[in-house]
Amino acid sequence: METVRKALYNFNSVKHSWENWAESHQNRQKVNPFSGSWTPEAHDLPPVGHRLYGRPKPGSKTEYRGKKADIHINEEVLELCQMIEHIGVPLSDGTIGVKFGRLFEYYGRISHNLVGLMIRARRKGLVQFEGEMLYQRQDEDAPIILLRPPDDLITEIQQQKEALSTHESIGKRF
Residue type, 119: I
Interval 5-35: pLDDT, tens: 666 667 778 888 889 999 989 888 887 878 8
Residue 71 has what pLDDT? 93
pLDDT, tens digit (0-9, with 9 covering 90-100), for 126-149: 999 998 888 878 888 899 999 988
- How far apart (Å, rounded) are the C-alpha atoms in residues 158 and 160? 5
Instruction: Of 159, 158, 169, give the one whose Cα is nearest residue 64.
Output: 169
CA atoms lying within 13 Å on the CB side of residue 45? 14
Produce one character per residue of 59-94: b if its CB has 16 or more CB atoms within 10 Å, e if not. Answer: eeeebbeebbeebeebebbbbbbbbbeeebeeeeee
pLDDT recorded at residue 170? 53
pLDDT at 96: 93
The per-residue pLDDT for 173 is 47
Domains recognised in the chain with CATH numbers? 2-42 (no CATH), 61-173 (1.10.10.1540)
Looking at per-residue pLDDT, the higher value among 166 and 1 belongs to 166
For residue range 40-89, list pLDDT tens digits in order. Answer: 776 777 788 888 888 888 888 989 999 999 999 999 999 999 999 999 99
Instruction: Judge whether residue 115 has pLDDT over 70.
Output: yes
- Mean per-residue pLDDT over the chain, rounded: 84
E strands of the chain, at which residues? 89-90, 96-99, 127-128, 143-146
Across the range 87-99, mean pLDDT stands at: 92
Partner residues linked to 145 by β-bridges: 97, 128
pLDDT of 76 reads 92
Check whether 112 has a pLDDT greater than 90: no
Cβ–Cβ < 8 Å for 99, 140: yes
* Cα dihedral 60, 64, 66, 67 in deg (nearest 10): 140
